[in-house]
Amino acid sequence: MSGTVIFIVGFIVFFVITLFLLCFTRSSIELPISLGGYSEYEDWPLDSEDLIACLPEDARLSYERAKIFQDRHPPDSVPTDISGPQLTSIQENGVSAFEFEGEPDANVYVAGRTELQFMHGECSIQTNLPLPRQQDVYYWEAKMFEKPESTTVSIGVATKPYPTWRLPGWNRYSIGYFSNNGCKYFSSPFNGKSYGIPFNHGDIIGVGYRHRTGTLFFTRNGRKLEDAYTGLRWNLFPTIGANGPCQIHVNLGQSGFVFVEANVKKWGLAPPQGTLAPPPPYGIERDTILLATAARLSSSSPSSHNENDSYSLHSQILINIDDEPTPSIPDPPPYSSQFDRTNLLD
């Protein structure tokens, strides 16, 4: 009997204590700030004060400026998930929905969505959309189309926003494979680790990402290197940086890869062609047949000539810009039955 009473009393005391904790301590419990998985990563490399002090003045100022930038603009400060309209664009346009977009203050120019021309100084550029997560692996390649030996290039990934004056691998939430020493860098300019062979003019560097395990790997001229890092649970953007003049052509899946496995398994960021049909061809050869027809109709109608002078003149101007105007065919000579009959008799 006494055991039953002790059990009941203990249960009541436990219930009262639990109720007290729930009611009076709820306001004092603070959950960690959610960075969408960004704060969960604990293996950040530590940059000691001695290493920072050893940097040249301009490099130290760039490092400190980038650190302040990322403190003020963490990866979740802007929406980076692929939205509904962006997903529709990928489905309709295929890989053409992806393109590199440069910042106004970056010394890099983009032609044809994926051809990059770096000018001078350290800078980087990213794609407009992150790597998707629909298939197991996503893969892309970058060819060193023109690269002097004095220019260092970093090929990798990073979150967004990322400081445009820093190469990928030098700041948090970024990874880069560097051309000058073949090392891989993760979130720090001081933790370079031996990884592959340095790459130069003409080499093709590939980047693959398995989003289920958060694993990133690289290829060099079609040969796969070992996995570089794993456990990356962020929205990663293809990112390329350089510290000098060079030209790099990027293949996001619009053409065949050098890495054969990526071709066979179709690891591009999206299909080469989307579901949206291309526009129909306009005109013939030089696209001037419709304009020429409009000009003839305008000139043949006296009543409408005055009303459509501006249109007629515009059409004639457009027609006259052809490099080689079509020569006019002369009319045949008048037919004379008497002349022909005389020639036959002779």
Task: Render the burial of 195-215: b for 16+ CB within 10 Å, e for the rest.
Answer: bbeebeeebbbbbbbbbeebb
Q: Is the pTM of this model over 0.85?
A: no
Nearest by Cα to 239 from 87, 36, 98, 41: 98
Q: Dump pLDDT digits (tens) for 271-290.
A: 998 888 766 665 545 555 55
Alpha carbon distance 283, 257 (integer Å): 35
Sorted by sequence, the CB contacts under 8 Å of residue 247 that are 6+ apart come out as 115, 116, 117, 118, 145, 146, 147
Q: How many CB atoms lie within 10 A of CB 193?
A: 9
**CATH class for the domain made up of 49-264:** mainly beta
Q: What share of the chain is helix, strand, coil (3-state, %, to 5)?
A: 30, 20, 50
Alpha carbon distance 102, 127 (integer Å): 9
Least confident of 75-84, 162-171, 217-226: 75-84
Alpha carbon distance 11, 282 (integer Å): 84
Q: Give the confidence band of 199 by pLDDT, cuts at 50, 70, 90.
A: very high
The 3-class SS string of 241-276 reads EECCCEEEEEECCCCCCCCHHHHHCCCCCCCCCCCC
- Whether the per-residue pLDDT at 125 is higher than 80: the answer is yes
Query: What's the pLDDT score for residue 77?
Result: 87
Q: Which two tokens stand for residue 280?
A: 């129909």
Alpha carbon distance 58, 131 (integer Å): 33
Alpha carbon distance 119, 244 (integer Å): 6
- What is the location of CATH 2.60.120.920 in the chain? 49-264
Tell me how far the alpha carbon of residue 77 is from its chain's centroid. Answer: 19
Residue owning tokens 């027809």: 293
Q: Dump pLDDT digits (tens) for 38-58.
A: 444 556 778 888 889 899 999
- The residue ranking higher by pLDDT, 117 or 328, is 117
Alpha carbon distance 341, 346 (integer Å): 9
